[in-house]
Amino acid sequence: MHHVILGAGPAGVTAAETVRKHAPDAKITLIAGEPEPPYSRMAIPYLLEGKIEEHGTHLRQDDAHYDDKRIEYKRGPVARVDTTSKTLTCADGSTVKYDKLLIATGATPIRPPIKGLDQHGVHTCWTLEDARHIAKRAKPGVPVVLVGAGFIGSIILEALAKMGVELTVVEMGDRMVPRMLDETAGNMLRRWCEDKGVKVITGATVESITSADSPAPKPAPAATPAPEPQKPGFFARLFGTAAPEPAPNPAPAPAAAAKPHGHPLTVTLKGGQSLPAALVVVAAGVKSNIDFLKDSGIDTGRGVKVDQFHETSVKDVYAAGDVCEGINLSTGHNDMLAIQPVAVEHGYIAGLNMTGTATAHRGSLNMNVLDTLGLISSSFGTWEGVEGGDSARMVDEEACRYIRLEFKDDILIGAQCVGITEHVGMLRGLIQTHLPLGVWKERLIASPARVPEAYVAVMQSAPLHGPSGPRVAVPA
* Strand partners of residue 375: 372
* Strand partners of residue 393: 404
- The whole-number pLDDT of residue 213 equals 66
Please choose, from the candidates 290, 323, 294, 291, the residue with its C-alpha nearest in 3D space to the C-alpha of residue 306.
323
Burial of 248 (0-12, 13-18, 19+ CB in 10 A): exposed
Burial of 405 (0-12, 13-18, 19+ CB in 10 A): buried
Residue 219 reports pLDDT greater than 60: no
Which domains, from first to last, does the chain contain? 2-109+286-361 (3.50.50.60), 122-211+260-282 (3.50.50.60), 374-460 (3.30.390.30)
Residue 406 reports pLDDT greater than 80: yes
- The whole-number pLDDT of residue 461 equals 83
Mean pLDDT of the 261-271 span: 83
Residue 313 reports pLDDT greater than 70: yes
CA–CA distances in Å: residue 325 to residues 10, 105, 336, 366: 16, 13, 5, 12
Instruction: Tell me how far apart the 2 most distant CA atoms of the chain are, in Å.
Output: 95
What is residue 245's DSSP assignment? P
Distance between CA atoms of 16 and 106, rounded to whole angstroms? Answer: 15
Q: Determine the residue type at 378.
A: S
Residue 272 reports pLDDT greater than 90: yes
Mean pLDDT of the 30-44 span: 94
Contact (CB, 8 A) for 300 and 203? no
Distance between CA atoms of 353 and 308, rounded to whole angstroms? Answer: 10
Q: Determine the residue type at 138.
A: A
Q: For residue 183, count other CB atoms closer than 10 A to its CB.
A: 10
- The whole-number pLDDT of residue 463 equals 64
Q: pLDDT tens for residues 273-293? A: 999 999 999 999 999 999 999
Mean pLDDT of the 349-353 span: 98
Could you tell me whether strands 390-396 and 401-408 are parallel, antiparallel, or unpaired per DSSP bridges?
antiparallel
Residue 227 reports pLDDT greater than 80: no
Q: pLDDT tens for residues 86-112? A: 999 999 999 999 999 999 999 999 999
Distance between CA atoms of 133 and 129, rounded to whole angstroms? Answer: 7
Distance between CA atoms of 90 and 109, rounded to whole angstroms? Answer: 22
pTM for the structure as a whole: 0.84
The pLDDT confidence band at residue 473, using thresholds 50, 70 and 90, is very low
Mean pLDDT of the 72-77 span: 93
